[in-house]
Amino acid sequence: MNGLVYDIHRFSLHDGPGIRTTIFLKGCPLDCLWCHNPEAKSFEPQLSFNSNLCTLCGNCEKSCPNNVHQIIDGKHIINFDLCRTSEECVENCPAGALSIIGYSESVEEIMETVNKDRKYFENSGGGLTISGGEPMAQFDFTFEILKRAKESGIHTAIETCGQSTEQRFMKVLPYVDLFLFDYKETDPENHKNYTGVSNKQILKNLELILENGASVILRCPLIPGFNDNEKHFRGIAGLQKKFPSIKLIEIMAYHNTGRDKAEKIGLVNPLKDLSSVSESEKKMWINSLTRLGCTNVTFG
């Protein structure tokens, strides 16, 4: 069985306990305004162009069978809609300015990579994390990896936006040691405006897995001017009060280090001019959450 992967991070320290191998899958059912991995949204491989590396040699224009590239008046113009990821342009780019994001990988190949790090897992209390995109959107592939890892004694974690069916969450539950569960917005209408979907099913799934004994870290991306407000803070505090088994509330403060990623794949970043969160803002957020009764809050 194969899935579409866009990156693998070995020796990761931020996707669960200990040293971890994190598998990033392509494709997500949400379209968050603040997405810092826009290359993970599509369920298809995508052309990526780094203009800083381009030497305007014209090799891509000559080799591409779909007329994606044009060198006009000293500028490299790309029609991303025409791209069929045939890779001729990538292979003929001497500067490495072009690449394809997303490649097929089998369960066996994933597990071979993961098993190379088994000693690091054992010594640090780490393991395997599947992230994305949204792992539940490539469900069969995700399920098989988690099952193989769990059966071989490897600690498993999954980072999820929660948008999937209840049946899928119940099926995967026995093979997941830790859910890194995103909670993006309390207000249902705002959630739909910011992410493209309502939070109704997401909250159902969160409640379902918690009531069935799941270990959950609640990951809360906070974006200045969008969800850093009293109503959402009360929503976070309310969830912790309702579900005291939540292990940790992890605030994911907005940063703009990936602001140019969207342009590289031919998309527009709607928050390109939004600055990263300052330390003073972070302190105010923590104070607000603490005042509302939140405990065990940290920054991811």
Tell me the H-state helices in the chain: 59-63, 88-91, 107-116, 118-124, 139-151, 166-172, 188-195, 200-211, 230-242, 261-264, 279-291
Place 28 in a pLDDT band, splitting at 50, 70 and 90. very high
Number of residues that make up the chain: 300
Of the listed ranges 55-69, 199-213, 257-271, the one predicted with least confidence: 257-271
Does the structural domain 48-101 have CATH classification 1.10.10.10? Answer: no
Place 257 in a pLDDT band, splitting at 50, 70 and 90. confident
Q: What is the pLDDT of residue 29?
A: 97
Mean pLDDT of the 111-126 span: 96
Closest CA relative to residue 200, chosen from 215, 216, 189: 189
DSSP string for residues in 103-130: EEEEHHHHHHHHHHTHHHHHHHT-EEEE
Is the torsion defined by CA of 75, 80, 86, 90 positive or negative?
positive
- pLDDT tens, position by position, 59-74: 999 999 999 999 999 9
Q: What integer best gives the mean pLDDT of the chain?
A: 96
Of the listed ranges 43-57, 106-120, 273-287, the one predicted with least confidence: 273-287
pTM beyond 0.75, yes or no: yes
Domain 2-43+102-299 classification at class level: alpha beta
- Other CB atoms within 10 A of residue 95 CB: 14
Q: What is the pLDDT of residue 258?
A: 74
Place 300 in a pLDDT band, splitting at 50, 70 and 90. confident
Mean pLDDT of the 189-214 span: 97
Place 256 in a pLDDT band, splitting at 50, 70 and 90. confident
Q: Any idea where the domains of the chain sit in the sequence?
A: 2-43+102-299, 48-101
Q: Buried b / exposed e across 71-88, counting CB within 10 Å, b at 16+?
A: beeeebebeeeebeeeeb
Token readout for 21 is: 């191998």
CA angle 270, 48, 84 (to 5 degrees): 110
Token readout for 168 is: 């899928």
Whether residue 299 has pLDDT greater than 90: no
- pLDDT tens, position by position, 166-187: 999 999 999 999 999 999 999 9
